[in-house]
Amino acid sequence: MEKDIGKFIAEHRKESGFKSQRQLAEKSGISAATISRIESNTQRPNPETLKTLSRYLKTTSYQELMIIAGYWEENDGTNKEISDIYENEHTKEEKIINIIKNIVDDEGKFPAEYHQDIFKIFGGYAEDDYLHERSSFKSRSEFDEWYMDFYLIQDDLSENDIEECIEEFNKFYNYKTVKHGILNLDKNFICLNKTLEDFLLELEEFINKHDLKILLSDQSHEKEFLDKLELSDEKLLEEFNLVLDGKKLTEDEAKGIIAYLRSLRQFDK
């Protein structure tokens, strides 16, 4: 039986840390008006909307949302299998997004020295709808064609050509466009040549190629970081990117964390 899905979503929105509908809207990409209609039960959320919401409502799951909304039966084993597949895909999405978050700078741009490799990984998969800056190209696909023909093939480029290419690349390939491309992979790209697993494998190769040591939830990286606390601040920051709540720390913030961890180690001695 269909239950009060609006009340259920409103409760879990608050429990997941979103005090207002607008906060959830900004994070999820679902409009505040739509969330308002859903929570007031004037609009029934479709399965795709529930799938998106489940990424941000951490105190519930896609399966539970689908059951409460009346799309699935509670004891249907097939639906549990579908939900498990989705949760596995969601975990891969989060890993990809966290890695990207550690590569970009404070403005969400990829460093220029990584552009060619980033294009090889995500070329053609960035989200067009999130291009808010003016560009001389009408679409991402037009830019992609130019980038491959003009930049990846030609060797003799002037400084102005290189600067233009970097500027245009940053408009079409940045944290926001790539993130939303990954989150909407199954909706935006009918013919998928890559899976989420492919993106993860290519990112791992990219990290190894550039000898990047990204401090995520990976316990091996955390242990390595703690084992090297005796190194200077500069050396540690050269080897590791420190992240808190998914955001890369500034140099001053990182040094503060390092000093705090060292003080704890001294206290334990």
pTM, full prediction? 0.61
Burial of 54 (0-12, 13-18, 19+ CB in 10 A): buried
Beta strands 243-244 and 240-241 are unpaired
Contacts of 242 (CB under 8 A, 6+ apart): 215, 248, 249, 253, 254, 257
pLDDT (tens digit per residue) in 155-188: 777 888 888 889 999 999 999 899 988 887 765 5
Give the C-alpha separation, 218 to 146, whole Å.
38
Determine the pLDDT at residue 119: 95
pLDDT (tens digit per residue) in 221-244: 566 777 777 888 888 887 777 766
Determine the pLDDT at residue 133: 56
Give the C-alpha separation, 247 to 221, whole Å.
17
pLDDT (tens digit per residue) in 74-119: 776 667 667 676 677 778 888 898 889 889 988 899 999 999 999 9
CATH 1.10.260.40 boundaries in the chain: 5-75
Determine the pLDDT at residue 77: 66
Task: Please name the CATH architecture into which domain 5-75 falls.
Answer: Orthogonal Bundle (1.10)
Residue the block writes with tokens 């830019």: 143
